[in-house]
Chain A
């Protein structure tokens, strides 16, 4: 069963003649362990889709289900707990807290969830080590490069028992090498069973996903079919 499911989700801002439909009738399901990319130009509704999928905003119509639970039937408190416990967000501008070290930033969601500081810190260090950032643990965000900051924010998104990672243009202003490192990390989380959605306008980034959904003017207009094995690229048809 899908871990994340959007059913006929629409979101409109404003009323009457000023009403603007950010997304309309979006259907999306993401299984555990799957990486899905949502690709579209600026203003196509990508970020709205992500904030609704992450329970940060409510849809005007339609239902969102996470791990079989319908968000509209949950209280604000329950949703906040679900976000703290199960969902990791990655933003283009990292959103790290400037006054906390890398390790403190990563363990913060666990501490906010009531996990004792020592245990949270240990879990945070474990992720930083996995992502090759152990030597940056005590650095503050302004002492890190852009690529390192984004890797720390991914560590924060996958720390603990996170089951859903939602990333909004995660490679943002990073160069292609760092962008690739970011996608490899998200993919590694998926291989451990995490469901992930990456929204982006960047085809190279999107091509890391097993499925790419195309969004235009708030509607899903198309999606890729599962690609054949890459071996087909190397078939012995000699190009002259």
Chain B
């Protein structure tokens, strides 16, 4: 996640202090992503170095410094908001690798391995849902963040369900080996 751009977006509302930025960042993400104050100041220094923010020069104490966005910073925010995150190449997904490995390890029931992960994910989703039930009904920001997390976890559960079903079918009717030359299946893997 880009803390750099999120801080820049907050500064586009008007000049702010570091501590204030941290509080506002946490509030604007439903307090789901806590932020270290040291990280805020390091990020601000880099933004200043890159000419995207300016500070009022009131001494060396970072806590006393106010920061404001520059015209270049405004352009950067506008561009960032509209730049799609890189979703083109699949991440090296640890869970996918575990399931693929479970198929090969002797004595391991891959369905049981899938269920272990399914249960863990559903338990995690129960916690997020409880948060939504208790608080998010009245807190729009939190509701949006919780929804994003629930949809993300849900997609993993769906993949497990699909894998479970596919493996079950394959054990009943083994897949026919294709005689068609295989496509090169090398994908660019994001780390």
Contacts and interface: CB of A to CB of B under 8 A. Distances in A.
Interface of chain B, main secondary structure: helix
Interface string B136-159: 000000000001001101100110
A240 B150 CA distance: 21
Contact of B126 (A184, A202, A209, A234): A209
Interface residues of B, number: 33
A238 B126 CA distance: 22
Interface in A185-215: 187, 201-204, 206-210, 212, 214
Interface stretch (B34-42, B81-89, B173-181): B34-42
B128 A222 contact: no
A203 B119 contact: no
**A201, A221, A223, A234 pick with most chain B CB within 10 angstroms:** A234
Nearest to A238: B36
A234 to B, nearest CB: 6
B33 A240 contact: no
Given A206-B122, A207-B125, A238-B35, A227 B130 contact: yes
A240 B131 contact: no
Contacts of B154: 202-204
A228 B34 contact: no
A76 B19 CA distance: 70
A18 interface: no
A234 B126 CA distance: 14
- Interface residue tally on A, bucketed by range: 20 to 34
Contacts of A222: 115, 119
Contacts of B126: 207, 209-210, 212, 224, 227
A203 B157 contact: yes
Contact of B31 (A212, A234, A240): A234
A29 B129 CA distance: 23
B25 to A, nearest CB: 11
A236 interface: yes
A208 B136 CA distance: 14
Contacts of B161: 41, 201
Given A41-B161, A225-B123, A238-B35, A214 B133 contact: no
B24 interface: no
B130 A204 contact: no
B64 interface: no
Contact of A233 (B39, B127, B157, B165): B127
Interface in A14-38: none
B134 interface: yes
Contact of B34 (A208, A212, A232, A238): A238
A239 B26 CA distance: 12
A209 B129 CA distance: 9
B123 A227 contact: yes
A39 interface: yes
13 contacts: A184-B133, A203-B157, A204-B129, A204-B154, A207-B129, A224-B123, A229-B127, A230-B127, A230-B130, A230-B131, A238-B34, A238-B36, A240-B39
Interface of B: 31-36, 39, 111, 115, 118-119, 121-123, 125-131, 133-134, 147, 150-151, 153-154, 157-158, 161, 164-165
Given A201-B161, A234-B32, 10 more contacts: A176-B147, A203-B158, A207-B125, A207-B150, A214-B115, A224-B119, A227-B127, A233-B131, A234-B131, A236-B34
